[in-house]
């Protein structure tokens, strides 16, 4: 009788282990089908521009970027904020000047094709690109860009915010639709510094801080109230009031260069806009910038 009971117990235990193994396999299959946003390299390193239809591209066995590698996706700037180890993985990719093809997928279903690109390449590309980072010194962000070297080389519709992509990031709680100046602790370093514009409207001081460039800014870029904040690139912030612009300047990296146009560089202005601020206001901002270690040059007024 004891032997019989022992045999039954062993068979029961084996049956339970078998059922658990089946459940684990099934759960693994479900997980693989619900992988969320992933980026795969192509098998055989298919050259960009030579990819066949999406459904017929063989992808690498494992993604180069998976959902666990991604902290957030910003649908306004198309930036993927990555974990440190994922960013290092991308920074160490050996990307040839002709690019390295990838496939963007949701739950292993291809959404669109693109290519990792090196900024030293002289070859243009008409697809979505991720530029290989110059170094591993953060921020740990890569951007889904249109075309290379500029968006003017891109052809077709923009697939980066497809409904499936937005839905999977939203479901994972990793979707950012827009950054506000109050939600970040520091603005990015700018190779050409920043430009600050100011004017008075309805007896209130208005300010716009923009990433520096070699071109003149348009009236819409300066006066429009809608902000655009990239944690790794272009910044445009509009605020009202001296305290507000002090808060913005306080988030610039130390020793950042800022050229301040204390006025608007336009020949015609609406009646409600005055092209000057009081000397007291300018002095207060200038002094605060020095306290923050910012190199502020005022082009129309020197206190």
Q: Is 190 part of a structural domain of the chain?
A: yes
> Does residue 223 share a domain with residue 96?
no
Q: Is residue 16 part of a domain?
A: no
Mark whether 227 and 96 lie in a shared domain: no
Share the mean pLDDT of the chain: 85
Does the pLDDT value for residue 146 go beyond 90? yes
Same domain for 194 and 270? yes
Distance, CA of 262 to CA of 275 (rounded, Å): 8
Statement to judge: residues 156 and 204 lie in one domain: no
Does residue 161 sit in the same domain as residue 62? yes
Residue 172 lies in a domain: yes
Same domain (yes/no): 219, 255 = yes
- Give the global pTM: 0.79
Mean pLDDT confidence for 9-22: 52
Query: 191-194, long-range: CB within 8 Å, 24+ apart, which pairs?
Result: 193/256, 193/257, 193/258, 193/259, 194/235, 194/252, 194/256, 194/257, 194/258, 194/259
Residue 284 lies in a domain: yes
Residue where one domain finishes, among candidates 176, 192, 226? 176
Question: Does 56 share its domain with 151?
Answer: yes
Q: Are residues 45 and 170 both part of a single domain?
A: yes
Whether residues 172 and 219 fall in one domain: no
Considering only CA atoms, which of 184, 187, 297 is closest in space to residue 249? 187
Q: Are 193 and 78 part of one and the same domain?
A: no
pLDDT tens digits, 25-71:
444 444 445 689 999 999 887 878 765 555 567 889 999 999 999 99
Q: Which of 127, 143, 176 is the last residue of a domain?
A: 176
Task: State whether 185 and 172 are in the same domain.
Answer: no
Residue 81 lies in a domain: yes
Please state the domain count of the chain: 2
Of 176, 210, 243, the domain-final residue: 176
| pLDDT attached to residue 139 | 87
Mean pLDDT is lowest, of 98-107, 172-181, 183-192, 211-220, for 211-220
Q: CB of 127 within 8 A of CB of 64?
A: no
**Burial class of residue 156 (count of CB atoms within 10 Å of its CB; 0-12, 13-18, 19+):** exposed
Is 13 inside a domain boundary? no
Residue 216 binned pLDDT confidence (cut-offs 50, 70, 90): confident
Domain assignment present for 254: yes
Structure-derived torsion over alpha carbons of residues 177, 191, 88, 104, reported in degrees to the nearest 10? 40
The answer on 196 and 65 residing in a single domain is no
Whether 201 is covered by a domain: the verdict is: yes
Range of the domain at 232: 181-298
């Amino acid at each position: 009788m004891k032997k019989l009971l022992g045999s039954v117990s062993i068979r029961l235990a084996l049956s339970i282990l078998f059922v658990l193994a089946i459940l684990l396999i099934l759960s693994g299959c479900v997980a693989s089908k619900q992988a969320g946003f992933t980026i795969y390299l192509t098998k055989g390193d298919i050259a960009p521009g030579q990819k066949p239809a999406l459904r017929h591209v063989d992808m690498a066995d494992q993604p180069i970027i998976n959902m666990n590698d991604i902290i957030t996706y910003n649908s306004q700037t198309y930036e993927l904020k990555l974990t440190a180890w994922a960013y290092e993985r991308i920074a160490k990719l050996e990307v040839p000047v002709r690019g390295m093809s990838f496939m963007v997928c949701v739950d292993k279903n291809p959404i669109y094709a693109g290519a990792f690109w090196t900024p030293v390449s002289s070859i243009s590309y008409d697809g979505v690109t991720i530029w290989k980072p110059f170094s591993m010194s953060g921020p740990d962000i890569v951007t889904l860009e249109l075309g290379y070297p500029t968006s003017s080389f891109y052809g077709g519709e923009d697939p980066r915010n497809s409904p499936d992509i937005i839905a999977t990031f939203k479901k994972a709680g990793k979707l950012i639709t827009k950054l506000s100046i109050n939600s970040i602790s520091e603005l990015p370093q700018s190779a050409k510094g920043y430009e600050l514009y100011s004017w008075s409207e309805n007896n209130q001081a208005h300010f716009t801080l923009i990433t520096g460039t070699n071109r003149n800014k348009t009236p819409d870029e300066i006066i429009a109230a809608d902000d655009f904040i990239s944690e790794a690139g272009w910044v445009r912030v509009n605020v009202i009031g001296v305290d507000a612009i002090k808060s913005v300047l306080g988030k610039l990296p130390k020793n950042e260069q800022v050229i301040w146009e204390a006025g608007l560089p336009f020949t015609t202005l609406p009646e409600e806009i005055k092209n000057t601020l009081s000397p007291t206001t300018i002095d207060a901002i200038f002094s605060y910038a020095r306290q923050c270690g910012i190199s502020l040059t005022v082009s129309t007024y020197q206190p």
